[in-house]
Amino acid sequence: MTPRYDAVNGSPIEVTAGYVEPNAFCQIIQSVIKNHRAQTGGSPPLDTQPIQMSIAQTEASSSQPASTQADSLSSSHTATIDSNTSAAPALEERIDIAKQKIEEKRLQKQEMEEEGRRQKEIERRKLGQDMAKLKQFQEEKKRKELQEQLTKERAEKTKERERIKQELEKDRVERAAKYRKERETQEKQKEEMKQAKELAQNKINSEAEAKKREQARLQIRLPDGSSLTNVFPSGDRLQTVKDFVSQRVGTSVTLSTTFPRRTFTAEDMSQTLLILELVPSAVLIAVPGKIKANTVNPSGGGGIISLVISPLITLWNFLYMFIFGRSSSPPEQKKEESSEADQLPSESPSGSASRGAQPQSAYQRRPIRTKGNVRRLTDMKDDDDDDENATWNGNSTQQM
């Protein structure tokens, strides 16, 4: 048979297969006992002496004859039974102790396992808490890093925005300064061009004015309402103009202006036309002086009255001629003036051509053409006049 040696918990300690010598078998049993003792925590060794004795007897009997072997076997068996009966209580007691120790070991091991599981659970929970704390720490760290990054990005954006704003402001200031400088340059150039143009224009005007002031174009209103136009050098005296008009009228005249209201006296006759501000053009009114030398005015105020009334009479004659086409002077006076005008020379003292003799009628001399509110006057006898159709707007257009 195959002997098997099991532990208390049922696990096999040693299994012997086949035939084994008694000494080897005894060694196997001793090794099994040692292993069992080691597992049970050092229980007292079993009494192997009866087993050894039985083994020795078995070996001795194997060397004797069969009859003697039977006797010896019976005797040895009896001795073994006696020894086994005496050693049984001690073995059972040791087995119980071993079982108790095994149970204690099992309980202790179970407690250790429970403690280990508890420790593992505690470690697991602690590890879970640590992991949760680590995760929370990582999340907090990540959140802080993200917040710091956002704050940094926001600060960088703000800084970039401020930089862009400063660049735009700087660019705006530079463009404004450049535009202002260009504008100032353009204005300066325009001002220089304007000043140069004004200087040139002033020079031209001065030259033209000086040229105009070299001559005086005078339009003289005669007592009959007609007018004379002649050009005199600005250096001529007013007496020259008076003599020219007196020759045309045939009597002594007094010269005056309507604007400003001024009557030239004997002292003014020695003044030049430039000093009297009759250049470049002016309008003079010729008022006839006293014809009869023997006429005496007791009061002495008749000359002043006639001087005041004469312009009114001249104006009345002009209006009457303009409306009715002929002068309001008596026919005898016209005839006398016409005869005197025929006796005068055809040229003026300055060499300028006169306007000719007294016309037969003012209507024939100045025909009026009316078109709407515009009246046009034409001097039919003056072929040398450039402006044959001068527009009349209430003032004479033949002064200049």
The region of weakest confidence among 114-118, 187-191, 272-276, 300-304 is 300-304
Answer yes or no: is 205 within a domain: no
Rounded to an integer, the average pLDDT of 64-88 is 50
**Is the pLDDT confidence value at 174 over 70?**
yes
Residue position matching structure tokens 């535009």: 179
**Is the pLDDT confidence value at 83 over 80?**
no
What is the predicted pLDDT for the residue at 75? 55
d(CA 255, CA 253): 6
Q: Is 280 strand, coil or helix? A: coil
Same domain, 223 and 356: yes
DSSP per position, 131-200: HHHHHHHHHHHHHHHHHHHHHHHHHHHHHHHHHHHHHHHHHHHHHHHHHHHHHHHHHHHHHHHHHHHHHH
What is the predicted pLDDT for the residue at 108? 85
Pairing of strands 215-221, 227-233: antiparallel
User: Between residues 148 and 361, which one has the greater pLDDT?
Assistant: 148
Question: What count of other Cβ atoms lies within 10 Å of the Cβ of residue 320?
Answer: 16
Q: Residue 273: which pLDDT band, with cuts at 50, 70 and 90?
A: confident
Answer yes or no: is 167 within a domain: no
Rounded to an integer, the average pLDDT of 132-160 is 89
Q: What is the CATH number of the domain that holds 236?
A: 3.10.20.90
Answer yes or no: is 171 within a domain: no
Same domain, 104 and 239: no
Average pLDDT, the chain: 70
Same domain, 222 and 344: yes
The region of weakest confidence among 73-82, 173-182, 317-326 is 73-82
Q: How many domains does the chain have?
A: 2
Rounded to an integer, the average pLDDT of 274-291 is 79
The region of weakest confidence among 226-235, 238-247, 303-312, 350-359 is 350-359
Answer yes or no: is 160 within a domain: no
pTM over 0.85: no
pLDDT digits (tens, 9 = 90+) for 23-45: 777 888 888 788 777 777 654 44
Residue type, 365: R
User: Between residues 148 and 359, which one has the greater pLDDT?
Assistant: 148
pLDDT above 90 covers a percentage of the chain that reads 4
Boundary residue ending a domain (85, 109, 133): 109
User: Between residues 188 and 371, which one has the greater pLDDT?
Assistant: 188
Q: Residue 164: which pLDDT band, with cuts at 50, 70 and 90?
A: very high
Boundary residue ending a domain (80, 109, 138): 109
* Two tokens, residue 163: 């930089």
Q: Is 253 strand, coil or helix? A: strand
Boundary residue ending a domain (109, 138, 157): 109
Answer yes or no: is 187 within a domain: no
Same domain, 105 and 219: no
Q: Residue 73: which pLDDT band, with cuts at 50, 70 and 90?
A: very low
pLDDT above 70 covers a percentage of the chain that reads 59
Answer yes or no: is 250 within a domain: yes
What is the predicted pLDDT for the residue at 109? 84
Strand partners, 46: none
Domain residue limits at 275: 214-291+301-362
H or E element in which residue 69 lies: helix 66-213
pLDDT digits (tens, 9 = 90+) for 344-395: 333 333 333 334 334 444 334 445 666 666 666 655 554 444 444 444 455 5
Dihedral sign, CA of 274, 277, 279, 284?
Answer: negative
User: Between residues 349 and 78, which one has the greater pLDDT?
Assistant: 78
Rounded to an integer, the average pLDDT of 5-16 is 61
Answer yes or no: is 13 within a domain: yes
Same domain, 225 and 96: no
* Two tokens, residue 207: 């030259």
Dihedral sign, CA of 49, 52, 54, 56?
Answer: negative
Answer yes or no: is 144 within a domain: no
User: Between residues 369 and 69, which one has the greater pLDDT?
Assistant: 369
Residues in the chain: 400
d(CA 325, CA 173): 77
